[in-house]
């Protein structure tokens, strides 16, 4: 029917959708149920170029660059995801075991070094995702800038990580609930939490973004509140105990188990920071990555300094590493040094508040797990690295089969009701132990390769819309430091803290991810006979949203001139925020 002619025949009863209504998701006719049902139909891919006569590498680049994911995430979503998105069990619970194994000084040193490495990694990820806001982000970059076989290995390594994290977080949530009520079967709670997270993700990227905005806001407020509380307690303002100061750094001491204790904390630190890189995946679902990504990337600095380092300094000051509560229920909320600090101070009611925050943090990470897994799996399918049906994306931009896969594997959470739960999840955790280290190291190496290709092909760095603040030095530091963490984990995995004898079970539970990544790489390498991507043939253009280089550079120059014209405080603010 002709929308310009109101008298046109309407007997076919086909709904007319104007351009403005289509963008707003409004259909003028048809039931809500019909629109809901139609939303699951395949997304329109008519804009994707023809694949004929292209190499597998070129097909993968085009497919990920033209993903039908919706670009609905706003600046506030990305910034809050960057600030508090991955604050979860690693910080609130895992830091307790780390404090017990290494002492307060080891806890601070390890988290500081991991934080510096992470800041470098996120900076270079920001540079790459602003230029190439493609689906799959770092797994796609590995395919384009290193080797398709490495892209396959890192993509599945990352996807499996989040597949496993989802049921783990659901079980952690049920354990957190038991802090208040141990009578209700854990299976009832995991069923409720599983359903809630799956519903959130069925609302698409907007559902994920809004949920993470709320979750992250609560976590940020809670951590800031704990820091203030900790300072008061340390100065003797609690109902029980007087001035503490730096007493626990002298007695029982700053370090525990020496250098091995320090090395054992590195992997805990990496696990605590894992998920930060999800902001790179989200770049493909933002309308203007050049504007939104740099601001979000810079927020990571504040998360490292305030929400991790400062809170852990406070924890190390008010909880001695010899506190029996750190070991009595390791892995549960009872082992959280945050809750222990409040409990030791004799403040009634506040432990329950902190426990509620931990519950929110756990559900937040579970929500991110479904998002991260579904986007990674769909990108792998688009590149031909996973079954084609897993790349299905509907009209609402939802990778439905990726979400369903997460949901099915998430049903492992019902093992919480079994007596074998500790054994099952110990081995599931083994699949994720080193996953983040491989991902971060690969991101940094992709950046090194990208810059080398730019130089060899005679491309100007002025084309780079957002430059990493740490440059190539940060990338080299990231690669080297991640390698050193792998070495440290090999040692502490084979010879656990407190033991001089080799422990094979402990080693494989700590290092299982490494042989899996290597096996995936060799399998794809032999099967597809892939080649290491040469610098002269590297594709430096497919996937760029900003193609008018001169106009973009002029706009950036104008923005920089405006910032330079302002006072010192404004310039400092813009640099860090």
pLDDT score, position 250: 92
Rounded Cα gap, residues 104 and 314, in angstroms: 10
Express as a percent the part of the chain with pLDDT over 90: 35
pLDDT above 60 for 441: yes
pLDDT score, position 20: 37
Query: Which comes out higher in pLDDT, residue 545 or 325?
Result: 325
pLDDT score, position 13: 37
- The model's confidence at residue 407, banded by pLDDT at 50, 70 and 90, is very high
Contact 133, 283 (CB under 8 A): yes
Q: What DSSP string describes 451-487?
A: HHHHHHTT--GGG-SS--TTHHHHHHHHHHHHHHHHH
The predicted-structure confidence for 109-151, as pLDDT tens digits, reads as follows: 999 999 999 999 999 999 999 999 888 888 899 999 999 999 9
pLDDT score, position 1: 40
- DSSP SS3 for 49: coil
Q: What DSSP string describes 261-300?
A: HHHHHHHHHHHHHTTTTHHHHGGGGBS-HHHHHHHHHHHH
Count of other CB atoms within 10 angstroms of residue 566: 12
- DSSP SS3 for 135: coil
Spatial CA neighbour of 431 closest among 165, 97, 173: 165
How buried is residue 454: exposed, middle or buried, by Cβ count under 10 Å (0-12/13-18/19+)? middle
pLDDT score, position 439: 94
pLDDT score, position 29: 47
Domains located in the chain, CATH noted: 77-546 (1.20.1740.10)
Phi, psi of 136, rounded to the nearest 5 degrees: 90, -20
The predicted-structure confidence for 256-314, as pLDDT tens digits, reads as follows: 988 999 998 888 888 888 888 888 888 888 878 888 888 888 878 887 888 889 999 99
pLDDT above 60 for 352: yes
Count of other CB atoms within 10 angstroms of residue 536: 8
> In b/e form, how buried is each residue of 418-435, taking b as 16+ CB within 10 angstroms?
eeebeeebeebbbbbbbb
pLDDT score, position 345: 86
Q: In the numeric block, which tokens belong to residue 541?
A: 């253009």
Count of other CB atoms within 10 angstroms of residue 560: 11
pLDDT above 60 for 205: yes
The predicted-structure confidence for 65-76, as pLDDT tens digits, reads as follows: 777 788 788 878
Count of other CB atoms within 10 angstroms of residue 445: 21
- DSSP SS3 for 4: coil
pLDDT above 90 for 200: yes
Measured at the CA of 347, the angle between CA 85 and CA 179, to 5 degrees, comes to 60
Give the Å distances, CA to CA, from 246 to 81, 168, 315, 318: 34, 36, 11, 9
Rounded Cα gap, residues 337 and 320, in angstroms: 10
Average pLDDT over residues 208-218: 90
pLDDT score, position 438: 94
- The model's confidence at residue 417, banded by pLDDT at 50, 70 and 90, is low
Measured at the CA of 432, the angle between CA 426 and CA 434, to 5 degrees, comes to 115
Q: In the numeric block, which tokens belong to residue 244?
A: 């503490």
Rounded Cα gap, residues 465 and 473, in angstroms: 19
Angle between helices 186-202 and 148-177 (to 10 degrees): 130
pLDDT score, position 146: 96
How buried is residue 195: exposed, middle or buried, by Cβ count under 10 Å (0-12/13-18/19+)? exposed
Instruction: Catalogue the E-assigned strands of 408-566.
Output: none
Contact 286, 73 (CB under 8 A): yes
Q: What is the pLDDT of the chain when averaged over all its residues?
A: 83
Torsion 231-237-241-242 (CA) sign: positive
The predicted-structure confidence for 515-568, as pLDDT tens digits, reads as follows: 999 999 999 999 999 999 999 989 998 888 766 667 777 777 788 888 888 888
pLDDT above 50 for 28: no
The predicted-structure confidence for 361-376, as pLDDT tens digits, reads as follows: 888 989 999 999 999 9
Rounded Cα gap, residues 388 and 380, in angstroms: 9
Rounded Cα gap, residues 319 and 337, in angstroms: 7
pLDDT score, position 76: 83
Q: Look up tokens 């991101």; give the residue.
A: 443
The residues near 182 (Cβ < 8 Å, ≥ 6 apart) are: none
Express as a percent the part of the chain with pLDDT over 70: 89
Query: Which comes out higher in pLDDT, residue 319 or 35?
Result: 319
Rounded Cα gap, residues 424 and 427, in angstroms: 6
- The model's confidence at residue 25, banded by pLDDT at 50, 70 and 90, is very low
Phi, psi of 540, rounded to the nearest 5 degrees: -110, 10
Q: In the numeric block, which tokens belong to residue 241?
A: 């105990």
Query: Which comes out higher in pLDDT, residue 496 or 29?
Result: 496
Spatial CA neighbour of 188 closest among 171, 163, 164, 201: 171
């Amino acid at each position: 029917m002709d929308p310009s002619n109101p008298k046109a025949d309407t007997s076919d009863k086909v709904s007319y959708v104007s351009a403005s209504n289509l963008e707003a998701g409004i259909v003028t006719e048809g039931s809500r149920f019909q629109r809901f049902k139609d939303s699951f139909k395949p997304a329109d891919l008519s804009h994707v170029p023809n694949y004929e006569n292209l190499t597998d590498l070129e097909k993968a680049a085009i497919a990920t660059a033209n993903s039908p994911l919706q670009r609905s995430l706003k600046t506030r979503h990305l910034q809050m995801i960057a600030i508090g998105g991955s604050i979860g069990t690693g910080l609130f619970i895992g830091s307790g075991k780390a404090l017990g194994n290494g002492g307060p000084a080891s806890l601070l040193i390890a988290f500081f070094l991991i934080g510096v490495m992470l800041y470098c990694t996120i900076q270079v990820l920001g540079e790459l995702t602003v230029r190439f806001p493609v689906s799959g982000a770092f797994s796609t970059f590995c395919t384009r800038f290193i080797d398709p076989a490495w892209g396959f290995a890192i993509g599945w390594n990352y996807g499996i990580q989040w597949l496993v994290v989802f049921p783990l977080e659901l079980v952690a949530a049920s354990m957190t609930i038991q802090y208040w009520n141990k009578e209700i079967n854990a299976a009832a709670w995991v069923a409720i939490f599983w359903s809630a997270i799956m519903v959130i993700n069925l609302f698409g990227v907007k559902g994920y973004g809004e949920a993470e905005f709320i979750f992250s806001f609560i976590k940020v407020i809670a951590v800031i509140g704990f820091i203030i509380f900790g300072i008061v307690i340390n100065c003797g303002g609690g109902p029980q105990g007087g001035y503490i100061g730096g007493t626990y750094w002298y007695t029982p001491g700053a370090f525990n188990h020496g250098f091995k204790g320090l090395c054992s904390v590195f992997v805990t630190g990496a696990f605590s920071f894992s998920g930060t890189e999800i902001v790179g995946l989200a770049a493909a679902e933002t309308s203007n990555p050049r504007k939104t990504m740099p601001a979000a990337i810079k927020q990571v600095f504040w998360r490292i300094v305030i929400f991790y380092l400062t809170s852990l300094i406070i924890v190390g000051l008010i909880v001695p590493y010899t506190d029996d509560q750190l070991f009595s229920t390791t892995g549960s909320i009872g082992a959280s040094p945050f809750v222990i600090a409040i409990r030791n101070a004799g403040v009634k009611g506040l432990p329950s508040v902190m426990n509620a925050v931990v519950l929110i943090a756990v559900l937040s990470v579970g929500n991110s797990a479904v998002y991260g897994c579904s986007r990674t799996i769909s990108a792998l399918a688009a590149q031909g690295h996973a079954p084609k049906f897993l790349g299905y994306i509907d009209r609402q931009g939802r990778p439905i089969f990726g979400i369903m896969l997460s949901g099915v594997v998430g049903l492992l959470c019902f093992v919480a009701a079994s007596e074998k739960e500790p054994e099952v999840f110990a081995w599931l955790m083994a699949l994720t132990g080193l996953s983040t280290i491989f991902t971060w190291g690969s991101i940094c190496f992709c950046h090194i390769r990208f810059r080398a290709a730019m130089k060899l092909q005679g491309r100007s760095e002025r084309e780079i819309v957002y430059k990493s603040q740490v440059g190539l030095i940060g990338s080299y530091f990231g690669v080297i430091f991640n390698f050193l963490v792998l070495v440290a984990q090999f040692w502490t995995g084979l010879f656990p803290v407190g033991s001089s004898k080799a422990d094979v079970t402990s080693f494989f539970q700590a290092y299982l991810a490494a042989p899996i990544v290597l096996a995936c790489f060799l399998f794809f390498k032999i099967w597809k006979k892939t080649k290491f991507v040469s610098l002269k043939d590297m594709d430096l253009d497919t996937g760029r949203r900003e193609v008018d280089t001169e106009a973009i550079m002029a706009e950036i120059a104008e923005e920089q001139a405006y910032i330079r014209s302002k006072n010192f405080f404004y310039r400092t603010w813009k640099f860090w925020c």
